[in-house]
A and B are shown apart, each in its own frame.
Chain A
Amino acid sequence: EVQLVESGGGLVQPGGSLRLSCAASGFTFSSYNMNWVRQAPGKGLEWVSYISSSSSTIYYADSVKGRFTISRDNAKNSLYLQMNSLRAEDTAVYYCAVEGVVIDYYMDVWGKGTTVTVSS
């Protein structure tokens, strides 16, 4: 079974840092592109970042560019999101999503999410 499990969320003060992880299983992680998507409380989905299977291509939403860093360790079947200079508006559930496991190009399998709260 294809599975993604996020971890690392929690309460952090404004200006602080947090590192999210996403553990993948049930598919050949190193062959697939990955994304982070977030959802603020009571709000819609927002695409955050993309990383290609080999880490050669990385993109960020303008709202997090320069503050967040996406990375992956294919040997550990893991995806990461390093979040620095956190702001209250970064408070959200963060989901990792894989592209193309079932449907080419699309974020077709998602984790259950991990909650990040930025507050003093």
Chain B
Amino acid sequence: QSALTQPASVSGSPGQSITISCTGTSSDVGGYNYVSWYQQHPGKAPKLMIYDVSKRPSGVSNRFSGSKSGNTASLTISGLQAEDEADYYCCSYAGSSTWVFGGGTKLTVL
């Protein structure tokens, strides 16, 4: 149950694209296509942004996209907007109804 590895911070200017990586193992990210991404604004509850590696819940902007290769998943945000500034967490199924999160990435919109 070791946390997935994410960069501590990323930044980009409005309109640009950024990508956040999430590295796990064959027991979590690499073993299942149950990878999700959560957005968390300060003092708020996490919000599901991506599920099943690359699917978006209804209401989530198509500027958000996800992918996976081997043991590494990625979240890409295109056309950065000020309201995208938040913490982002990847999450993977780890078997037996357990989940493992990444350490989180702080996105700064310059």
Contacts and interface: CB of A to CB of B under 8 A. Distances in A.
Interface of A: 33, 35, 37, 43-47, 50, 52, 57, 59, 61-63, 95, 102-103, 105-108, 110-113
A25 to B, nearest CB: 16
Interface residues of B, number: 26
A59 B104 contact: no
Nearest to B58: A102
Nearest to B40: A45
Interface of B: 1, 3, 34, 36, 38, 40, 44-48, 51, 57-58, 89, 91, 93, 96-104
Contact of A61 (B1, B45, B47, B103): B1
A50 B98 CA distance: 7
In the A-B complex, the 5 residue pairs with the smallest Cβ-Cβ separation, listed nearest first, are A44-B104, A110-B45, A47-B99, A45-B101, A44-B103
Contacts of B100: 47
Given A44-B3, A45-B46, A107 B101 contact: no
A46 B89 CA distance: 10
B89 A62 contact: no
B89 A44 contact: yes
A44 B91 CA distance: 11
B99 A111 contact: no
A107 B45 contact: no
A14 B91 CA distance: 30
